[in-house]
Amino acid sequence: MFTRQQVRMITVVLVVIFVSVCLVGLQWASAQPAVKPTKLKVAGVFTPPEVSMMSQSMKTWQDEVTKRTKGAITFENFWGAALGSPAEHIDLVKKNSVQIAQTHEWYTPGRFPVGNFEYVFPFGPTDYILVAKAMRKIRTEIPQFAQDETKENVVMICNAPGGVYDFMSKKPLKTLDDFKGEKVSLIGRYFGRWMPPGAVPVVRPVADRYDLLRGGVVNTDLLPFDLFYAFKIHEVTKYYIKVHLTTALYGPVLMNLETFKGFPKEVQKIFLEAGQDVEIRVATEVIPRWWAKCEKEWKAKGIQFISLSDEDIKKWASTLEDIPAEWAKEVEGKGYPGFKIVERWQEITSELGFKWPRKWGVKK
- Residue pLDDT, tens place only, 165-224: 999 999 999 999 999 999 999 998 899 999 999 999 999 999 999 999 999 999 999 999
Question: What is residue 130's predicted lDDT score, i.e. its pLDDT?
Answer: 98
Lowest mean pLDDT across 19-33, 101-115, 136-150: 19-33
Give CA–CA dist 349/123, Å, rounded.
12
Pairing relationship of beta strands 220-224 and 165-169 according to DSSP bridges: antiparallel
User: What was the pLDDT predicted at 188?
Assistant: 85
Answer for the pair 323, 120: CB distance below 8 angstroms, yes or no: yes
Distance CA 347, CA 356 (A): 10
- The DSSP secondary-structure symbol of 217 reads S
Are the CB atoms for 275 and 252 separated by under 8 Å?
Answer: no
Please, is 84 exposed, middle or buried when counting C-beta atoms within 10 Å of its C-beta (0-12, 13-18, 19+)? middle
**In angstroms, rounded to a whole number, what is the distance separating the alpha carbons of residues 242 and 96?**
41
Cα 225 from Cα 111, distance rounded (Å): 28
Instruction: Give the C-alpha separation, 206 to 234, whole Å.
Output: 14
Find the mean pLDDT for residues 264-276: 98
With a pLDDT cut of 70, the percent of the chain lying above it is: 91
Encode 40-55 in three state secondary structure: EEEEECCCCCCCCHHH
Q: What confidence category does residue 34 fall into, taking pLDDT thresholds of 50, 70 and 90?
A: low
What residues have CB less than 8 Å from 167, skipping those under 6 apart? 173, 184, 220, 221, 222, 240, 241, 243
360 band by pLDDT with thresholds 50, 70 and 90: very high
- Assess whether pLDDT exceeds 50 at residue 118: yes
Q: How confident is the model at residue 17 (pLDDT cuts 50, 70, 90)?
A: low
H/E stretch holding 185: strand 183-186
Helix/strand/coil percentages in the chain, nearest 5: 50, 15, 35
What SS3 state is found at 115?
Answer: coil
The residue among 10 and 277 whose pLDDT is bigger is 277
Residue whose C-alpha is closest to residue 211's, from 188, 236, 184, 238: 236
Cα–Cα distance for residue pair 102/295, rounded to 1 Å: 26
Contacts of 4 (CB under 8 A, 6+ apart): none
CA–chain centroid gap for 187, Å, is 18
The SS3 call for residue 166 is strand
Give CA–CA dist 224/187, Å, rounded.
12
Kind and range of the H or E run holding 225: helix 225-230
What are the φ/ψ torsions at residue 44 (nearest 5 degrees)?
-125, 140
Q: How many CB atoms lie within 10 A of CB 269?
A: 13
- For residue 362, count other CB atoms closer than 10 A to its CB: 12
